[in-house]
Amino acid sequence: MYEKVSEEVAQVTAEPSAEYREVKRWAEKGERIRIVSKHDGRYENRDEFVVDAPAGFGDVFVKHPQGMNEGRACVCYVEYVVLEPIAQPVVYVEVKRKADVGERIRIVNACAWSDYENGDEFNVVRLDSDGDIFIVDNAGGPECVATDEYVVLEPVTAQVIEEPERLTVGDYVKVVREGGTHNYAVGSVVKVTKLDGFGLFNAERADGKIGNLLALGQTEPATEAEFLAQRKPAFNVGDKIRITRSQCNWPVGTIATVTEVLARLNHDSGTVKALADGHTYLADGCAFEVLTAEEVAAAEKEAALALQEIAKWNAIGRKVGEYKTGDIVEVTSTSGLCVGDKINVGDIVVLGDKDESDEMFRLQAPGVIGGNWAETDMFKLVTPVEQRFDDAA
């Protein structure tokens, strides 16, 4: 009754001989899909189709005699998995870099509020203008993943190496040489966390983070005591931190002071209690950066200047940036003005009519009758209208 793909396609489980594997991602035109959670009576679970065209947000069109769209039925993203052909076993190496569309990533530092966990793998479906990546998360929706949360999985050609019996999860080794794509410091001691069967393994660094794949030949045996001796607290009470990701009620950019370093962490990156604006909240290490003494001094200077600016405007009974018709101002930008050279940067002019819809003012100057609408960031206050003694006030 409908165009169905051959039943010979096998579902991938643990057997490496399977012809296809099921992958939960958006399907592209020409790819094979399998129904796993049907919401439509026109097909059954385990029915298979070839995608005729994408329908948007992961939904796809497939050819179907009962289809309402040119003989096609729409299959929702939540209903299917993609069947990817398995050509041969592929070894992947974890690389710490920004991913591109189509590349596969592994989550290694998931934040607590995300719909994914450490170890989850996804394909990158798009990038935004800042280069941040988007994946389809475990809840079936698009989600932005921060650079510090993932590694890129790059396929490599690897020589199979027999694992010595002594190397097991929980062993400690010292990194003795560079090579490949590992991101461990030579001389550092790490703890084996995962073996992949190819003489490569992942390990925990002293800072608690899991690194890229490391080869056995790049290490030598070490002890737990050597590993623990490297550990230093990442944060200290009294540290100044800047919030870099929205958390609790603090906006990004808030400067806070660490009041307590928690022994039980909410996140692998560490958790602290911090105070800002009279409020104390928990903050995960992935959501802030520790400021240096120079950065603290610069932030305090910026805050002091902001307070001075507020005080100046309060003295004349206004909010910061509140201008009025009749104010005398100095021009700081002529962008968007169409007045030739009749108004230039540095000129002292008077604010004329105000457009209430967009908070713009006319700049009054000799010989100017039009093209003189300016936004408030194009000038600065010299004398408020209330303090003018000239006849024009």
Q: Is 373 inside any structural domain? A: yes
42 and 70 share one domain: yes
Q: What is the mean pLDDT of residues 355-369?
A: 89
Q: Is 4 inside any structural domain? A: no
Q: Is 71 inside any structural domain? A: yes
Q: What is the mean pLDDT of residues 163-192?
A: 81
Q: Is 204 inside any structural domain? A: yes
Q: Give the residue, 67 or 127, on which the prediction is more confident.
A: 127
337 and 358 share one domain: yes
CATH number, residue 245: 2.30.30
Return the pLDDT at 359: 87
Displacement of CA 157 from its chain's centroid (Å): 30
Last residue of a domain, which of 206, 229, 252? 229
Q: Is 310 inside any structural domain? A: no
Q: What is the pTM of this model?
A: 0.35
* pLDDT interval class at 180 (50, 70, 90): low
Last residue of a domain, which of 53, 68, 85? 85
**Which distant-in-sequence residues (6+ apart) come within 8 Å of 165 by Cβ?**
none
Nearest to 62 by CA among 12, 142, 8, 5: 5
Nearest to 140 by CA among 155, 161, 157, 122: 122
343 and 383 share one domain: yes
139 and 96 share one domain: yes
The residue range of the domain holding 265 is 240-291
Last residue of a domain, which of 48, 69, 85? 85
Q: What is the mean pLDDT of residues 158-178?
A: 70
Total number of domains constituting the chain: 5
Report the range of poorest mean pLDDT among 95-104, 192-201, 350-359.
192-201
Q: How far apart are CA 118 and CA 82, in angstroms?
A: 22
Contact between residue 200 and residue 154 where contact means Cβ atoms under 8 Å apart = no
5, amino acid identity? V
Nearest to 286 by CA among 253, 250, 244, 248: 244
Q: Is 66 inside any structural domain? A: yes
Q: What is the mean pLDDT of residues 213-229?
A: 84
Is the model's pLDDT at 19 over the cut of 50?
yes
List, for residues 241-250, the tens digit of each pLDDT value.
888 887 667 7
* pLDDT interval class at 79 (50, 70, 90): very high
101 and 137 share one domain: yes
Q: Is 309 inside any structural domain? A: no
Return the pLDDT at 198: 59
Q: Is 366 inside any structural domain? A: yes
- The 91-95 sheet, strands edge to edge: 91-95, 150-156, 104-107, 121-123
Is the model's pLDDT at 49 over the cut of 80?
yes
Tell me what percent of the residues of the chain surpass a pLDDT of 70: 87
What is the per-residue DSSP string for 266-301? SSTT-EEEEEETTEEEEEEGGGEEEPPHHHHHHHHH
- DSSP, collapsed to helix, strand or coil, labels residue 250 as strand
* pLDDT interval class at 254 (50, 70, 90): confident
- Cα-based distances in Å from 178 to 16, 184, 197, 208, 214: 32, 8, 21, 21, 10
Contact between residue 34 and residue 48 where contact means Cβ atoms under 8 Å apart = yes
